[in-house]
Amino acid sequence: MTTQQTPPPATPTDGPEPSPAAGATHRRSAVAPGAVSLDLAAQAPELSNSVGEYLRAWVKRIRSGESGLLPVVGGLLILGIIFQVKSHYFLTAGNLTNLLVQGAVFVLLGMAEIWVLLLGEIDLSIGYVAGIGGVVTAILAAPPDNFPWWAAILIALAVTAAIGALQGALVILLGLPSFIVTLAGLLGWEGVLLYLVNGHGTGGTIRLSNSVLLDLSNGNLSPVASWVVMVAGVAAFGAVTILRDRHRRVSGLVAPPMAVSVAKVVLVAVAGVGLVLITNVNRSVIGNLRGLPYVVLIILGFLAAWTFVLGRTRFGRYVYAIGGNPEATRRAGVSLGWNRLWAFTLTGLTAGAAGILYTSRLGSISNNIDGGTLVLYAVAAAVIGGTSLFGGRGRMVHALLGGLVIATIYNGMGLIGLAADYQYMLTALVLLAAVTADALARRGRAKA
């Protein structure tokens, strides 16, 4: 992969420098001492640990169209209030846990879609690619193959990753629009899915009988383990956030003030405690069903991993760069092809994982899975969360929040007895609002 190309030395400490005259002293000798102090002075207000300064910058960003997570979190709260007023069952622990499990598939599909959306591309096929992930897992785990559950999952993910790579290769090598290639995928993979289900299943479904696979979406940690895992997760997040921000402040780099770092961690801690309090309530009428669903951990695991790859690796950087300005990225010596191919591959892989969770929740996969609606929900989740359809802007957490919005609509509408017709219409309105916000923000930026 291209990200392994070694760049020419760019710092004095960065390896042997072939040209003696222009080498290690280059940058230093170019320094005009006066200019340096001037520059640092100019940076000072922005580095000051003042919360007020930070908030002012934040308000400015929102005004210029970079509203961040504010709209989607606000929307989530408003939807929650509306549904709670309409149905007192909505905010019960049992329903909220159910909502999380329902939302998991939308969230993961949204993350799959974000990989290609960041490039400025789209993948319409992920609904059925997810279906294939579920089907392959189900077939391999059942007789006569009887693969162990982990092998079934790994093979299924390899298959869906390969599907993503194949579609990506068609887009990249032939220069075809991803819209068209994946539209063909939407049809073609549904065909493959029908072929597999009808060939291996009975009555148009393949059952899942492996208990580990069923537990992925239906099992949960014990209440005690839920607390332990949550505390460990929040502690890890807190340590990473606080230490990183502190290190940046100490080194004189751009960083948020201490109070803001702490506030972030407190917010996550509150969310974590709330999550465990809710999921640890017994939600079964007859038996005892308590604890954090595994699926929540799976989702958070993907969120952490993909956020890390996007934020900390060269490949992640290039995904954003290609989405922002492909020609500039090419001129910077970056291989567009390989990086785009990897992004398409990760889309396929993540979609496969979503399909496995989907199959696990239903306990089977049938030939009437609606991959068309699933992909629309996936795009909607990403865009509602704040990822741009125009490429270059978005984060994995957008899929989490956008997916929760969709799951809330889906769940809440069901509770108050409104059927699919109203669900679709409301989802459409929310999606339109999100896309409009995206387009307006883009126009605002263009004007600025």
Which residues of the chain form contacts with another protein (CB under 8 A)?
5, 7-11, 14, 17-23, 26-27, 29-32, 35-36, 38-43, 46, 64, 247-248, 251-254, 312-314, 317, 320-321, 323-325, 327-335, 392-393, 445, 448
Of 255 and 278, CB closest to another protein = 255
Cβ nearer to another protein, comparing 49 with 209? 49
- What's the min distance (Å) between Cβ of 164 and another protein? 23
Q: How far is the CB of 101 from another protein (least distance, A)?
A: 34
Nearest approach in angstroms of CB 42 to another protein is: 4
Nearest approach in angstroms of CB 437 to another protein is 17
- CB of 120 or CB of 127, closer to another protein: 120
Give Rg (Cα) of the chain.
24
By beta-carbon proximity to another protein, the closer residue of 251 and 284 is 251
- In whole angstroms, the minimum distance from the beta carbon of 61 to another protein comes to 9
Structure tokens, 218 = 């239906």
How near is the Cβ of 227 to another protein at its closest, in Å? 32
The 3-state secondary structure of the chain, one letter per residue:
CHHHCCCCCCCCCCCCCCCCCCCCCHHHHCCCHHHHHHHHHHHHHHHCCCHHHHHHHHHHHHHCCCCCCHHHHHHHHHHHHHHHHHCCCCCCHHHHHHHHHHHHHHHHHHHHHHHHHHHCCCCCCHHHHHHHHHHHHHHHHCCCCCCCHHHHHHHHHHHHHHHHHHHHHHHHHHCCCHHHHHHHHHHHHHHHHHHHHHHHCECCEEECCCHHHHHHHHCECCHHHHHHHHHHHHHHHHHHHHHHHHHHHHCCCCCCCHHHHHHHHHHHHHHHHHHHHHHCCCCCCCCCCCCCEHHHHHHHHHHHHHHHHHHHCHHHHHHHHHHHCHHHHHHCCCCHHHHHHHHHHHHHHHHHHHHHHHHHHHCEEECCCCHHHHHHHHHHHHHHHCCCCCCCCCCHHHHHHHHHHHHHHHHHHHHCCCCHHHHHHHHHHHHHHHHHHHHHHHHHHHHC
User: Measured from the CB atom, is 76 or 389 closer to another protein?
Assistant: 389
User: Closest distance between another protein and the C-beta of residue 66, in Å?
Assistant: 8
Residue 170 or residue 334: which is nearer to another protein going by CB? 334
Q: Which is nearer to another protein, 205 or 335 (CB)?
A: 335
Whichever of 68 and 274 has its CB closer to another protein, that residue is 68
Task: Indicate the angle between helix axes 371-385 and 126-141, nearest 10 degrees.
Answer: 120
Closest to another protein by CB, 36 or 305: 36
Phi and psi at 234, nearest 5°, equal: -65, -40
Task: State whether the Cα torsion 165-170-174-178 is positive or negative.
Answer: negative
CB of 357 to another protein, least distance (A): 29
Q: Closer CB to another protein, residue 286 or residue 446?
A: 446
Q: How far is the CB of 343 from another protein (least distance, A)?
A: 15
CB of 332 to another protein, least distance (A): 3
